[in-house]
Structure 1
């Protein structure tokens, strides 16, 4: 088991170094720009009737759909960032989940535009604009609450020795690599369904469903190293927050914002209670 965790540690560190490299960030940003502009061009070609029937069948007719494509790809990149954050800190990985939720709410706001004609007319936008404002306001509230959440974090080691700490981190890295494989497979399958004009599924709903199980798994893994009540309660509470976030993704307008903001407030409450009663010394992240 020690040999396996050692190899997992090396593989994870290599992938994380590649992902966080400035060159990778610039390449990802350039890819998003090309995808956004390319989608706009392809949609315009479809509107002019210059594409084959097979290609035109999988393209929408509204230019606003390009915004949805760009944001979906951006969220996919954020998902990969979340996978790598799981190995660093449970609290930070939960914060990353709420970051993604806030971006999903903004994506829902832009998604309303794909149902509009061009140019925009108030008669057809009067009702969807309420959904746009609701989702955008929810994303803003979570953004503001995240600042408080991160400020409250006080990182504490849950183990009493450096060897146990390294073992625990390596275990979390193993979970992260498994999630990376799952999310990559789901993304490839969903993309294939879309390109072949088949029924696609909600990638981010599945993503958060898997996160619920991974959070519970991390709670159980942490029990190998500490059965401290405060730690168990905090990690279990964060798993509950993930469940509420999952419900927010499938809830109708307005309720999704209430659930998302409520989960954020609950996570902050968990953090305040943990800081109040946990007496272990604070360590650097």
Structure 2
């Protein structure tokens, strides 16, 4: 146990220090910028028949859809930030989950923008209708996340005088250290698995739904397990009803987000909005409960 207590801080400083975060941010942003121009170049190479690869993929039809690729790398950085904030603030960790699923919707909007059919039958065209749902959902999520962060700050002020439980922080650091290589391996495996699904002989790419959910359906499955572990560990440090309900509510919120990957269309969008709204309701009630006790 003493060896683990020595190794974990070393790995934590290596993977999740402020210096590492800054370096990771710079690398990801550079890669995102380069990937945007590469995607853009591929689209124009196909448009002018410089490259012989005819595909019906919506990601290769319009220059607007080129924004999809850099957003994917930004999402990877958001995953890193989620792990980074896990030991520091539980509410910030949950906020990052909400930000990730919101960015996934916004990333999808760039793809949908390139395939919009501007006509009087807007609300009768399935693709245009889904674009409308996602556009409204992104605005709602942005506002809900803003309210959630406000509630999180109120909680932080209320708990400022409470002594930080060192053992609980160490447990969270251990989980964070485990998550960094785990998500890295998952991302590499997902990328290789997706690449094997590309058929150059038949000029086909994997279906868009599988691309949009790539990595993140497994990612949120792992987050559910992490949230449950954190919930169970929290029982060692508090038996206050409102805190148990808050932590349990966050687990339910993550499960609702994970369920959104199983379905598509309007139901998926509703599940995502409901998940964030449920989390907001939980933390709001928790703060009022704590204020009055």
Q: TM-score, normalised by structure 1?
A: 0.83
Structure number with higher relative contact order (C-alpha < 8 Å, ≥ 6 residues apart): 1
CA distance in 1, matches of 2:129, 2:285: 36
Deviation at 1:250, TM superposition (A): 3.1
1:38 Cα deviation after fit: 1.0
Shift of 1:190: 1.4
State the match for 1:256 in structure 2.
268
CA distance in 2, matches of 1:182, 1:24: 17
Show CA shifts across 1:68-109 (max 9, x none): 222222211111111111111221111111111111111222
Question: Does the CA-based 8 Å contact 2:187-2:215 persist in structure 1?
Answer: yes
Is the 2:83–2:176 contact (alpha carbons within 8 Å) kept by the matching residues of 1? yes
SS at structure 1 position matched to 2:260: helix
Deviates more, 1:90-99 or 1:4-13: 4-13
Number of the residue aligned with 1:142: 141
Q: Deviations over 1:21-77 (max 9, x none)?
A: 2x5433322221110011111232244444477xx88x9642444222222222111
- Which residue of 1 is the match for residue 202 of structure 2? none
Please state how far the C-alpha of 1:208 moved relative to its aligned partner: 0.8
Long gaps (5+) in structure 2 = 199-205
Q: Distance in 2 between matches of 1:149 and 1:121?
A: 35
Shift of 1:137: 1.4
Give the counterpart of 2:223 among 211, 222, 232.
Answer: 211
Q: CA deviation at 1:129?
A: 2.0
Aligned to 2:129: 130
SS at match of 1:122: coil
Cα separation, 2, equivalents of 1:92 and 1:264 = 13
Shift of the 280–29 alpha-carbon distance from structure 1 to 2, 3 Å rule, reads farther
For residues 275 and 215 of structure 2, the distance between their equivalents in structure 1, rounded to whole angstroms, comes to 21
Shift of 1:193: 2.2
Rounded Cα–Cα distance in structure 1 between residues aligned with 2:236 and 2:160: 10
Q: Indicate conservation of the 8 Å contact 2:43/2:61, yes or no.
A: yes
1:1-285 equivalent positions in 2, closer than 5 A = 1-16=1-16, 17-21=18-22, 23-51=23-51, 61-63=60-62, 64-113=64-113, 116=115, 122=118, 126=122, 127=125, 128-153=127-152, 154-155=155-156, 165-197=165-197, 202-278=214-290
CA offset at residue 138 of structure 1? Answer: 0.6
Q: Is the 8 A contact 2:106 2:138 kept in 1?
A: yes
CA distance in 2, matches of 1:279, 1:3: 41
Q: TM-score, normalised by structure 2?
A: 0.81
CA–CA distance in 2 between the matches of 1:158 and 1:218?
21
CA contact (8 A) 2:79 2:100 kept: yes
- Contact 1:102/1:140 (CA < 8 Å) preserved in 2? no
Shift of 1:216: 0.3
Whole-Å Cα distance in 1 between the matches of residues 223 and 168 of structure 2? 19
Counting matched residue pairs gives 272
Higher mean C-alpha deviation, range 126-135 or range 137-146: 126-135
Rounded to whole Å, the distance in 2 between the matches of 1:36 and 1:110 is 13
